Structure formats: C-alpha cells, structure tokens
Structure 1
Amino acid sequence: MLLKEACVENFTDIPAALRAGANRIELNDNLTVGGTTVSRGVMAEAIRYVHEHDAGIVCMIRPRSGNFVYTDTELKIMEADLFVAQELGADGVAFGALTKDHWLDEEAMENLIGAAGGMNVVMHMAFDEIPAARQQAAIDWLAAHDVSRILTHGGPLSVPIAQTVPHLQELVKMAAGKLEILPGGGVTAANVDEITAAIGVKQAHGTKVVTFK
C-alpha cells in the first residue's frame, strides 16, 4: 500500500486530509515559508485527533523561516519543542540543522536527535542544500545517528519533481538498507502513483498528495 503523508498547516485541514486518504500527517505552521513549529495547543489537539483516527503524525521542528543555520538560542527553542512533541505523543519529528558551508551541523543534530528521545526522526528538505557529491556521506551520517527518513525533493524546489526523479532514484540506492527516502515538493494526487513507481518507493509527501480542497 502507498503511504500518503499530507503536509498541513495547523489543525484545520487534518480531518479532511484523513478522510481523503492520508495515512500520515506532517504538522506545520506557516507553510508559505516552508513550515515552522505549531503552538503547543495545536500540536496537542492534532496528535489526539490523528491518533483517534489510526494515522501517524510528524511535527515540524523549525523556529523560523529562512536558512537552516541556527544560533544556540534557536537550538534551545528547538530542543524545547522536541520535548513538547515527545510529551504529547508525536510519532515523529522533522528538522534539519546545517553549517554555513552546507554540511550537517553535526553537534546540533546530535543534540536534537537526543532530545527527540526515541521518536522517529526525519531530516527535512534542508538535506537538499547539501551538495550532491556529499549526500552519500550525509545519508551515512544520518543513518548512523538513528535518523529514520529523509524528506527530499531531489534538487531545488524550483525544478519540477518530474525532472529530479533520476537523482531521487540515486538517493534511494544510496539509502538502501539504511533509511527511507520520502519524496516531496510537487507530488500531487494526480502524479503520486507515477512518481513513486518511478523512484521505487512506497510513500510520498505533499500538500496536495491527497485531494481535500
């Protein structure tokens, strides 16, 4: 069965997304800037509702829009939000921290993964800012540090996903036996079957991966 992860903003669209066939929710605020962390109240109600309807939920942990190079204060905020997600029973969390030279901020990532306390950890599309030549090394590092999944477009979001399929296929091979590759960014209800079949995965992510509006 194909797992469809609906990327939603706050609680409002969750019931409709689940009715439309979403199996997992990625919970965000501010999707116009790529998603940030929701409030505790939104997170609590979303987790409760999703679990009552036998689906999974991943909470975005991102303190602001913009790049993924974070200050110590921002990382403290992210750790606090991770503790909240864990307390409230989230199935997973999505985050990513990079250095100015587009590599994983290893110290920050280790601390954030530790704060996740056993929840599934997803490296979000910050991964796509890592140069292609270093992505195998990044996959290996993430797998060794218990990251279970990478959400990736396979290239810049300005490039249609149909054109990034070849690189997504390469990423699936790089990650084989280590962690999951979750394609996103331009995956819709109309193309999800074609895209996932071409890449060779059984899951996909998107704001339009199911039709509920």
Structure 2
Amino acid sequence: MSQTTDLLREFCAENFTLVPRAIEAGARRIELCDNLAVGGTSPSMGVMEITVLYAHEHGADVMAMVRPRGGDFVYTEEELGIMEADIFAACEAGADGIVLGCLERAEDGSFTLDADALTRLVTVAESAADAFDMELEMTFHMAFDELSPSEQLLAIDTLSDLGFSRILTHGGPAGTPIEDNLGRLRELMDAAGDRLIILPGAGITHANAEAVAGALGAHEVHGTKIVEL
C-alpha cells in the first residue's frame, strides 16, 4: 500500500531484494547497505548499479553506505583507503549520495569526531563527484550517537562546515523508544538550524512515522520498517 504524505521516507535496505517493494510502498530514498546484522556495511558495485538504475527509474534516490566493516567507527589507514575506493565506486554507480562516519577514541575512552579522516574522505568525495560530473550528498550515520551530548553539538558545527547534508541519529542510546528521545532530537534540530538536516531513525516504522515527524516538525524519517511491505 503506497503512502499519501509529503513526508520523505528513507528505507534502509540490505542489498536490492526489498528495494522494489519499498519504493512501491512509498519510500522516496534508499539507504543501501550490506550486512545489516552489524549495522550496515558497503554494498557491492553490482548491487549499487542495479539499485540505482531501478530507483532512478521509479523516482527514488539512493544513498550508499561507506563502511568497511562492523564494529566501532575508528578506522585504520588501510580501512580509510578502502572507504576512499568505496566512495569512488558509489559515484561510478551513480548513487545520489554516501553515508559514512569516522570517530576517534579519547584517552578516557569517550569518542570524538575524527575531523582529519572526515576531511580526507570529503576531499575524495568532492573529487569523485567532479570526475563523474554529479552532485553528491553526504550523510553522517549513527556513529553520531556514540558522541556525548556536548560533543554532538560540536560535531554539528564541524559536519556543517565539511558540507554534510544530514545527520542520522536516534537521539539517544540504542534500543530506547524513539518517543523517549524527542526532546533531544528537537535540541539537535534547533542546533543544526538550516545548516543540515537532523534525520531521526531507529524505532520509527510505518505505524509511527507520521506521529514522530509531526512531533518534531521533521520532513524526513529513516528505518528498515519505514514503509509497510
């Protein structure tokens, strides 16, 4: 059953399998991943090419995950090289954007944004977009939720300066009801202003999407069950 609202539903897809049904059900953007059991990793070139072709023919955009493995978001030099290659692959496949995140661990065990790694990857993304003569959006994924509240506010400034289009966040610890995090999500939206989009996700389904979006004044929502399949 298709949706009849202006709310943009971003469907988090593991490979191509459910993409046609999701678009038919009202998804207007696909976050394309592999390995959702570990939170999503980079999809293959073939999956990206077929998904982009199908989505564009049916009025939907595709955001390709750029993540070399599951686990934390602190990456080695080799892993950053893998991410650079995956960014070029996403652009070559015609994706509308990429989804990534990089953190570094402080001495006390807390996380901060890895601005150096992100600057490096953004530079690669800009070069790839130029090479393929395309516009490329960038989403910072739920690595954002590993940051402390004060670090999140600093991260919004940095990510805005780097040119990110949006931040995907649950607004609180993983597994908490999204309704419990509406206050924090509003704070993040206020901090971001019109510089970038705060994209709420995790725990949002086709059943509560409009209520959550209405409570937040959000125009986009994200999830694996964001449309009724």
| Runs of 4+ more than 4 Å apart | none
1:158 shift after superposition = 1.9
Any residues of structure 2 matched to 1:174-189 within 5 Å, and which? 174-189=191-206
For 2:39 and 2:75, the matched residues in 1 are separated by 16
1:88 shift after superposition = 1.4
Q: 1:173-208, CA deviations, whole angstroms, 9 ceiling, x for partnerless residues?
A: 000021001000010000001111111111100000
The aligned counterpart of 1:39 is 44
Taking every aligned residue pair, what percent have the same amino acid on both sides?
A: 50
Pick aligned residue for 1:112 from 121, 124, 139: 121
Pick aligned residue for 2:175 from 135, 145, 158: 158
- Describe the SS at the equivalent of 2:158: helix
Structure 2: tracts of 5 or more residues without a match: 1-5, 130-135
| TM-score, normalised with respect to structure 1 | 0.98
> How many equivalent pairs are there?
212
1:35 shift after superposition = 0.4
Pick aligned residue for 1:7 from 12, 30, 33: 12
The aligned counterpart of 2:3 is none
The aligned counterpart of 2:207 is 190
Amino acid at match of 1:4: R
Which stretch of structure 1 is more off in the superposition, 108-117 or 139-148? 108-117
Matched, 1:149 2:166: yes
The aligned counterpart of 2:62 is 57
For 1:63 and 1:134, the matched residues in 2 are separated by 24
1:38 shift after superposition = 0.8
Structure 1: tracts of 5 or more residues without a match: none
For 1:81 and 1:120, the matched residues in 2 are separated by 15
| TM-score, normalised with respect to structure 2 | 0.91
RMSD: 0.8
- Describe the SS at the equivalent of 1:99: strand
For 1:155 and 1:60, the matched residues in 2 are separated by 22
The aligned counterpart of 2:228 is 211
- Describe the SS at the equivalent of 2:9: strand
Q: 1:18-73, CA deviations, whole angstroms, 9 ceiling, x for partnerless residues?
A: 00000100001011111001111111111111111111110010000000000000
Amino acid at match of 1:199: L
For 1:60 and 1:199, the matched residues in 2 are separated by 26
Amino acid at match of 1:129: E
